[in-house]
Structure 1
Amino acid sequence: MPKPVIAIFDVGKTNKKLFLIDENYQIVYERSARFVETVDEDGEPCENLESLKSSVYDSLHQVLQMKEFDIKAVNFSTYGASFVYLDEKGEPLTPLYNYLKEYPEDLKKEFYAKYGGEEKISLETASPVLGSLNSGMQLYRLKNEKPEIFDKVKWALHLPQYLSYLITGKAIADITSIGCHTQLWDFNKNQYHHWVTSEKIHEKFGEFTPADSSLKTCFEGTDFQVGVGLHDSSAALIPYLANFNAPFVLISTGTWCISLNPFNQEPLTKEELKQDCLCYMHFKGKPIKASRIFAGYEHEVQLKRIAAHFDRAAYLFKHLKFNPGLILKLVNKIPENQKEQTVFSATSAFGTRDLNMFQTAEEAYHQLIFDLIKQQIYSLKLVLNEGVRRVFVDGGFGKNAIYMHLLATSIPDVEVYASSVSQATAIGTALAINDAWNPNPAPTDMIQLKYYSAIQRTM
């Protein structure tokens, strides 16, 4: 008898994955793809939308042919801050612009002057001023720079909702995408911000739909439920909320290292906003206070620099063991290693370090992690509040022994765990619509924890 499963498309900037997850939340099938980036009209790198679309259709077609599985539902999670602009026929009108694309300074000044200033908009929308990373600003730019294209836009869909649209043909808007550093959502009034309605941009959004809802759809002769899609950072938090009631902070590590505190309901201050704090949205519509640093990206860039300088292959650093002796040496060698970071910085100190001061690649790499941890602790403390006694680290850095030991050493009053939910984002995306496809309640033992104890903290 075929095994009932949900198909989850988990689309990151680098890897695009498809998972089949059974009713016990075991991953029973997985496939992965990488696409070569294309460029937009300005020569800037961007997602290959056509490849992504083909991959979704081809992958779904393939798993529907598998006799051993019965697809009960499909859902999607992707990176945020990316809009797909569709015409009347549902065809994309532009490339999928990269959220790191430079934003025109003149247009930015004009926008904030028109709508009350950076500080006011940021506080109301719980979004730091981030240029193209505020996806609402991408729409404002399209309207002002390419009005002829903007007029043809029938739907402006965030990427998760675009993938859902490919299967259902229904245009929808979802709170985890709309409410996350977009500058589209007024957190005080719990509605679209007045600039959005003033510019009539909300007319391009699909029907506002709860993130835990789904739509019965027929695809290639098979009926199944299709979710609305989720912003990946919100999805990754869902397994933790399902498994733990006591207050915690989750540091979700990848390209960005995001400290998510679902137990901090304090409004963002202007000082916090200037330090890259923001609010994400719980899939049930509750604000989640968060802070972020671009540490995963910086780690990759600096790792390549270390590898090139010492003529070593970058992959050799992946499972490097924690060396307390090297840390002690670095504490004595570099005086600022003995002090906490006290000022916000978008990057760590490592980028300005002369690699000639390190005798070995291992020594340089330990210092890189040392610098990233100092930045991480500063970022974490921006959202840490009374009552939180546990920090979970999910993703790439959770597997990095040097990172975990240094993190545990830096916050001795908090229990630090490397946590692993196999594919937390995909599992969370499945959990969001559990009731639509699974007769069983969500399991409560899906997260594996590795505790970094006080003994291990001793250097």
Structure 2
Amino acid sequence: MSALPVIVIFDVGKTNKKIFLFDENYKIVFERSARFMETYDEDGDPCENLESLRLSVYDSLREVLKRKEFEIKAINFSTYGASFVYIDEYGKPLAPLYNYLKAYPEAIKADFYKKYGGESAISAATASPVLDSLNSGMQLYRFKKEQPAQYKKLKYALHLPQYLSYLVSGAEYSDLTSIGCHTQLWDFTKNDYHDWVKKEGLDKKLAPIVDGDEVFPSEFPGNQYKVGVGLHDSSAALIPYLINFHEPFALISTGTWCITLNPFNDSPLTPKELEQDCLSFMQYKGKPVKASRIFAGYEHEQQLKRISSHFNQSPGRYRSMKYDAGIIYNLLREMEGRNEPAVPVWSKDSAFAARDLASFSSDKIAYHQFILDIARQQLASTKLVIGDSKVKRIFVDGGFSKNAIYMNLLAMMFPEMEVFAASMAQATAIGTALAIHKCWNTKPMPNDIIELKYYASNNDLAI
């Protein structure tokens, strides 16, 4: 029996590190997941164990190469963003893989914005809210200021997907999905690095840019597979939708963050939108994608503990809780009686944190109120990026797409839209594979990998 042609995808999240093998129909034929213990940087702050990650890539590859039932045609990588690996001329890391949540020195930050025109001007040009270490360009600026001796040895700062690709291809490149994602490096108005990057000479420490569908030969002799340049995970997750749907749509990708991506809105970000946590991503073909985000998945975790503890219930009870339109009707009338605004305005947190659980007669009512508050917050966030674009469909993927209460409320709040829960096994990994489809797959692009469940609007209830 001949070996099955496959692509290997490394999908590296903050918590789980996964490897998948997909066949030419994009079915998973092998998968493995691992977690690594974090290590600590020189300041004692937790950070990714870069050496464990590096060894894991090589060990996993060796394992799948031994399996004679598979013929590896290509390899690609997707990882979380805002993370740089600083390598010297021999490819050796010069510093830890700093955590993007690491506190940023106020003195360096103040000096930077004073020197380069202020927070608003930099944010507007780079489509990046001021997020300190989450702006990876600010990490590189800090590295230059705080570690001049190491900076002198620096050949390239590679974003994490490109570093993993480099480990296998030996090719040092940058990719726009990483550079264009809240880094403060890329000037969206000029389609080039921002002037501050060039004035600091950082552009010379960033490897040449290639498209997200670029591939390179393997560095290992005797292996004929192609190696992708790697992608930022949020951009990768959008690819299956861009390939399958051509009418304007918005995607709400739900997880720890609930991010609304609108590939059909390329209007420049306004200062007000930036203040409301809007940003622009870059899709793998180099086109801007307007996005907004709320920390709703994280808040869901926290409030679920509060509700289940107060009512002495198991947190698992809420995973499959059915939608009760009657409860929502009563809650909306009560909110109206308390003069809570009918049209929600954007907020960093939902209204639920300030609600007294003792005011709810059951956990079911409390949970419906919480999801109503989250959905109202989502409505305000999503509307920021839908804007005047001709979006008629909203797809929701990730954890909240399985929440019947959330999905029914979203359909109610967007009566003029078609709202779908989208189900796709490993969207980020599949998107990463699809990006380099033409270099490894003899079959046409698939059009049946996304399962959709339609949620009809209940026009009897107003929001």
Instruction: Classify 1:293/1:85 alpha carbon distance in 2 versus 1 (closer, same or farther; 3 Å).
Output: same
Shift of 1:148: 2.4
2:324 matched residue in structure 1: 323
The reply to whether residue 432 of structure 1 matches residue 430 of structure 2 is no
Correspondence list, 1:51-62, <5 A = 51-62=52-63
Paired residue type of 1:50: E
Please, which of 392, 397, 410 is the counterpart of residue 394 of structure 1?
397
2:258 matched residue in structure 1: 257
* CA distance, structure 2, for counterparts of residue 414 and residue 92 of structure 1: 48
2:362 matched residue in structure 1: 360
* CA distance, structure 2, for counterparts of residue 457 and residue 296 of structure 1: 28
The reply to whether residue 404 of structure 1 matches residue 412 of structure 2 is no
Please, which of 376, 379, 392 is the counterpart of residue 377 of structure 1?
379
2:305 matched residue in structure 1: 304
1:237 matched residue in structure 2: 238
Correspondence list, 1:11-410, <5 A = 11-219=12-220, 221-335=222-336, 339-340=341-342, 342-384=344-386, 385-410=388-413
Cα displacement string for residues 427-452 of structure 1 (whole angstroms, at most 9, x for unaligned residues): 11111111111122211222111000
Shift of 1:219: 3.3
3-state SS of 2:225 partner: strand
Paired residue type of 2:453: K
3-state SS of 1:449 partner: strand
* CA distance, structure 2, for counterparts of residue 282 and residue 107 of structure 1: 31
Shift of 1:455: 5.4
Paired residue type of 1:363: I
Asked if 2 retains the 8 angstrom alpha-carbon contact of 1:331 and 1:338, the reply is: no
Paired residue type of 1:40: D
Shift of 1:457: 7.8
Cα displacement string for residues 145-180 of structure 1 (whole angstroms, at most 9, x for unaligned residues): 222232232221111111111111221100000011
Shift of 1:71: 0.7
Compare 185-194 and 87-96 and name the one that shifted more. 87-96
Q: Structure 2 stretches of 5 or more lacking a match?
A: none
Shift of 1:235: 0.7
Instruction: Classify 1:181/1:340 alpha carbon distance in 2 versus 1 (closer, same or farther; 3 Å).
Output: farther
Alignment: residue pair count: 459
Compare 447-456 and 16-25 and name the one that shifted more. 447-456
* CA distance, structure 2, for counterparts of residue 306 and residue 41 of structure 1: 39
Compare 151-160 and 329-338 and name the one that shifted more. 329-338
Asked if 2 retains the 8 angstrom alpha-carbon contact of 1:391 and 1:414, the reply is: yes
* CA distance, structure 2, for counterparts of residue 316 and residue 61 of structure 1: 42
3-state SS of 2:218 partner: strand
Shift of 1:310: 3.3
* CA distance, structure 1, for counterparts of residue 452 and residue 82 of structure 2: 31
Asked if 2 retains the 8 angstrom alpha-carbon contact of 1:218 and 1:224, the reply is: no
Cα displacement string for residues 357-410 of structure 1 (whole angstroms, at most 9, x for unaligned residues): 333333332222111111111010001134211000011111111111111111
Q: Structure 1 stretches of 5 or more lacking a match?
A: none
3-state SS of 2:408 partner: helix
1:419 matched residue in structure 2: 422
Paired residue type of 1:261: N
The normalised TM-score by structure 2 is 0.94
Asked if 1 retains the 8 angstrom alpha-carbon contact of 2:81 and 2:232, the reply is: yes
3-state SS of 1:164 partner: helix
Paired residue type of 1:443: P
**Cα RMSD (Å):** 1.9
Asked if 1 retains the 8 angstrom alpha-carbon contact of 2:87 and 2:155, the reply is: yes
The reply to whether residue 444 of structure 1 matches residue 447 of structure 2 is yes
Instruction: Classify 1:342/1:331 alpha carbon distance in 2 versus 1 (closer, same or farther; 3 Å).
Output: closer
Cα displacement string for residues 252-296 of structure 1 (whole angstroms, at most 9, x for unaligned residues): 111211111111121111111111111110111111111111111
* CA distance, structure 1, for counterparts of residue 460 and residue 9 of structure 2: 38
Instruction: Classify 1:310/1:148 alpha carbon distance in 2 versus 1 (closer, same or farther; 3 Å).
Output: farther
Shift of 1:116: 1.1
* CA distance, structure 1, for counterparts of residue 433 and residue 26 of structure 2: 8
Instruction: Classify 1:48/1:366 alpha carbon distance in 2 versus 1 (closer, same or farther; 3 Å).
Output: farther
* CA distance, structure 2, for counterparts of residue 135 and residue 396 of structure 1: 27
Asked if 1 retains the 8 angstrom alpha-carbon contact of 2:14 and 2:80, the reply is: yes
Paired residue type of 1:190: N
Instruction: Classify 1:35/1:341 alpha carbon distance in 2 versus 1 (closer, same or farther; 3 Å).
Output: farther
Paired residue type of 2:234: S
* CA distance, structure 2, for counterparts of residue 407 and residue 120 of structure 1: 34
* CA distance, structure 1, for counterparts of residue 82 and residue 3 of structure 2: 38
Instruction: Classify 1:44/1:357 alpha carbon distance in 2 versus 1 (closer, same or farther; 3 Å).
Output: farther
Instruction: Classify 1:19/1:337 alpha carbon distance in 2 versus 1 (closer, same or farther; 3 Å).
Output: farther
Instruction: Classify 1:299/1:39 alpha carbon distance in 2 versus 1 (closer, same or farther; 3 Å).
Output: farther
Shift of 1:192: 0.8
3-state SS of 2:11 partner: strand
* CA distance, structure 1, for counterparts of residue 34 and residue 181 of structure 2: 26
Asked if 2 retains the 8 angstrom alpha-carbon contact of 1:331 and 1:337, the reply is: no
